[in-house]
Amino acid sequence: MFVMKCKFIFLLFIFFKVSLAFGEPNVLKCNKNCGKSDLNDDYSFQARIAMGPDKWGGNVTFIEDDIILSQGHILGYSPEEKNSFPRCGSDASSNPAADWLHNKNDMYVVAGKNYPIKTIVAKVLDISIRATGHPPGYDIMIAHVDRFCHKCNNSIKIIPIPVASKIPPINTKALHVFIPGEDKKSYGNGILSDNHLLNGEIWGSKNNSCTRQSIKHDGITNPPMVFDASGSPVIYKECGEYAVHGLHGNGMDFDGYMYEHLQLLQTQKEWIQSEIYRWTNRKDMLDACSLSGRKSFMTGGKFEIEQQNCGEIILNYVRPVSCKLVDQSKALKLPNF
């Protein structure tokens, strides 16, 4: 029976990859007015990459004044893109591929406010990517940006958001913050937000079991699925301040619903800090729980959660391993999880 279940989930996984290749899966999804507009500029940290002559690209989040966060596949670093995979960090730049290879000299960030009007607020200087495979493999991108480039409108105020240090309890209330793509005009314009409930299983692989949290977009506890939002953050209040818990962009469709596998970030703060240091010589970063608002996450420091390196490459089905750091007795399970 166990073997049959594994084969069943593996087939679902393959079906999901195929469905993405040929368009959006046939799941419950939002078609119009898909979030609350950010009228008070509460989420100015949200932006989009802009590359090529059409200035196209996915969602990114400012986690420092000069550092953005997203997913590797928004720049084409994925198992499906030839020569772009795997990557463990700075090798994504030193061994460039995909969109970075072709657009690295002309890649910008545009403000979320008033999008799809494209106001350049930063130029991408360098990238670092952890792309190690299908979930629970990593799909994370961070980049160093210049807010004072000659094309940049640096009068637009952007307040960055910290990356979470802790994994919140099951059923924590959260927000999904995103900017719809140009072809999703019916979703709404600019920066949108919608409620999320972090009620799904937190899982990963054998040696790194807290890298993903699954969210069932059933229209009941979580909203219908929105597409073209890869790299957009799900945030929750840590120590009373919003922090990034995970990123939209990977998932599976089953029985008419999308199960989004949020890319969690708590085990990757040491790596993120190391890249910030490499680019800027800063040994600290924003932190929701520090009195000063900043904390060092350099190697050898104290972390809420054990930090992980790149780990194994995941190209085929890996039986999910439940995260033991939180009580998951009330977590919504994946099909045959």
Residue 113 lies in a domain: yes
The yes-or-no verdict on residue 17 having pLDDT over 70 is: no
**CATH number of the domain to which 56 belongs:** 2.40.10.10
Range of the domain at 121: 41-146
**pTM given for the model:** 0.93
| Predicted local distance difference test score (pLDDT) of residue 335 | 78
Summarize pLDDT for 210-254 with one digit per residue, the tens.
999 999 999 999 999 999 999 999 999 999 999 999 999 999 999
The contacts of residue 14 (CB under 8 Å, 6+ apart) are none
Identify the band that residue 315 occupies on the pLDDT scale cut at 50, 70 and 90.
confident
Bond from prior residue into 169 cis (ω within 30 degrees of 0): no
Closest to 227 in 3D by CA, of 92, 51, 34, 65: 34
pLDDT digits (tens, 9 = 90+) for 160-219: 999 999 999 999 999 999 999 999 999 999 999 999 999 999 999 988 899 999 999 999
104 domain-assigned: yes
Please tell me what DSSP assigns to residue 26. Answer: S
Find the mean pLDDT for residues 308-321: 88
pLDDT value for 4: 34
The answer to the question of residue 126 being in a domain is yes
Residue 295 lies in a domain: no
Task: Please give the pLDDT value at position 318.
Answer: 81
Task: Assess if residue 132 is contained within a domain.
Answer: yes
CB 65 within 8 A of CB 116: no
62-74 pLDDT tens trace: 999 999 999 999 9
Does residue 96 belong to any structural domain of this protein?
Answer: yes
Phi, psi of 33 (to 5 degrees): 50, 70
The one-character DSSP state at 292 is T
Distance, CA of 212 to CA of 235 (rounded, Å):
14
Contacts of 190 (CB under 8 A, 6+ apart): 37, 38, 112, 113, 114, 115, 179
Q: What is the mean pLDDT of residues 250-279?
A: 96
Q: DSSP readout, 79-144?
A: TTSTT---EEETHHHHS--HHHHHHTTSEEEEESTTTTS--EEEEEEEEEEEE-BSTTS-EEEEEE
What's the pLDDT score for residue 9? 37
- Beta-carbon contacts of 328 under 8 Å, excluding residues fewer than 6 positions away, are 170, 201, 202, 322
On whether residue 90 sits in a domain, the answer given is yes
Contact status, residue 317 vs residue 164, Cβ threshold 8 Å:
no
Tell me if 133 is assigned to some domain. Answer: yes
pLDDT in tens, 20-42: 434 689 999 999 999 999 999 99
* pLDDT at 319 (0 to 100): 86
The total of structural domains in the chain comes to 1
Both tokens assigned to 99? 């969109």
Consecutive H or E run containing 270:
helix 269-280
